[in-house]
């Protein structure tokens, strides 16, 4: 199986695929990750390290939840919302999940239009993505307020059960929320760059001084999808378990 050459940075000869391809790529005494801009490969490696950070949080959460002798608060009830006099379990969390997935969808399309050099669509989709991300953070702030002010949840204890509930919750969702907030800031910066035509005219960036190009939208996209990916795991293990 041979794959077509996708960028000009790769050789014009077809590259071997499959396991032979791995050996060839790693042993060729040159760049190992072919067909990807190095910024994208580095983003992947950063995300790999971030995977380990979030996994450490989730595994620590598992360990304290196994080891506590006090009953764990039922997340389905704790995060429920009363709407029209009816108790709906996990409603806010479900909406947050859909908001974040939608932002991932718009981000993927922004990447696509970016490669087509469709400036207007890329800009609009980046802005929508940022808006959905900000909505997510806003809903998380609402959730934290509800938990801290009305339910009396603290990192060292809560009225519903095991004290470890609060510490795990604030640590994991706080770290994830920080990632989303940073992502929103970078999305806005990226949207401004697209709007000004920095990427079309290969203007150097203010921080790195490297030439602008639409590949950085995909790199940005990788980060954003990763934030969504982490939420998938938090949703399953913290809210649904």
Partner 1 sequence: MAHAQGQQHPIGIYLKIWGLLFILSTASYLVDYFHFQGYLRWFLIVLFMLLKAGLIVSFFMHMIWERLALMYAILVPPLLLVVLLGIGVLEGNYTFFTRGAFFGPGPTVPAEHR
- Comparing CB distances to partner 1, the nearer of 59 and 141 is 59
Q: Is 66 in the site for partner 1 (CB under 8 A)?
A: yes
Interface with partner 1 (CB under 8 A), residue from 42, 53, 101, 185: 101
| Residues 189-218 contacting partner 1, CB under 8 A | 213-215, 218
Is residue 63 within the footprint of partner 1 (CB under 8 A)?
A: yes
Count residues binding partner 1 (CB under 8 A): 72
Binding letters toward partner 1, positions 122-161, x by CB under 8 A: ----------------------------------------
Q: Is 105 in the site for partner 1 (CB under 8 A)?
A: yes
By the rule CB under 8 A, 225 interacts with partner 1: yes
Least separation in angstroms between residue 166's CB and partner 1 is 18
Question: Would you count residue 55 as binding partner 1 (CB under 8 A)?
Answer: yes
Is residue 44 near partner 1 by the rule CB under 8 A? yes
Gap between the Cα atoms of 222 and 218, Å rounded: 6
Residue 83 touching partner 1 (CB under 8 A): no
Residue 199 C-beta: closest distance to partner 1, Å? 9
Q: Does residue number 35 form part of the binding site for partner 1 (CB under 8 A)?
A: yes
We find the least distance from the C-beta atom of residue 120 to partner 1, in angstroms, to be 15
- Give the 3-state secondary structure of the chain: CCECCCCCCCCCCCECCHHHHHHHHHHCCCCCCCCCCHHHHHHHHHHHHHHHHHHHHHHHHHHHHHHCCCCCCCHHHHCCEEECCEEECCHHHHHHHHHHHHHHHHHHHHHHHHHCCCHHHHHHHHHHHHHHHHHHHHHHHHHHHHHHHHCCCECCEECCECCHHHHHHHHHHHHHHHHHHHHHHHHHHHHHHHHHCCCCCCCECCCCCCECCCHHHHHHHHHHHHHHHHHHHHHHHHHHC
- HSE-CB at 126 with a 13 A cutoff on CA atoms is 29
CB of 81 to partner 1, least distance (A): 13
Q: Can residue 221 be called a binding residue for partner 1 (CB under 8 A)?
A: yes
């Amino acid at each position: 199986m041979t794959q077509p050459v996708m960028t000009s940075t790769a050789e014009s000869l077809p590259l071997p695929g499959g396991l032979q391809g791995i050996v060839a790529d790693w042993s060729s005494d040159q760049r190992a990750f072919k067909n990807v801009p190095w910024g994208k490969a580095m983003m992947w490696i950063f995300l790999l390290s971030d995977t380990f950070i979030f996994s450490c949080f989730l595994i620590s959460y598992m360990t304290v939840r196994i080891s506590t002798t006090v009953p764990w608060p039922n997340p389905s009830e704790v995060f429920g919302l009363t709407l029209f006099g009816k108790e709906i379990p996990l409603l806010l969390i479900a909406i947050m999940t859909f908001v974040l997935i939608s932002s991932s969808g718009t981000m993927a399309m922004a990447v696509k239009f970016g490669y087509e050099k469709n400036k207007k669509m890329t800009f609009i989709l980046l802005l929508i993505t940022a808006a959905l991300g900000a909505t997510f953070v806003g809903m998380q702030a609402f959730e934290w307020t509800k938990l801290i002010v009305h339910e009396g949840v603290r990192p060292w204890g809560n009225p519903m059960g095991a004290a470890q509930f609060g510490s795990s919750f604030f640590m994991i969702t706080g770290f994830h929320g920080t990632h989303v907030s940073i992502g929103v800031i970078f999305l806005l910066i990226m949207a401004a760059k697209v709007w000004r035509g920095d990427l079309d005219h290969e203007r150097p960036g203010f921080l790195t001084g490297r030439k602008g190009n639409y590949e950085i939208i995909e790199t940005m996209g990788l980060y954003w999808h990763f934030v969504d990916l982490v939420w998938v795991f938090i949703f399953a293990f913290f809210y649904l378990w």
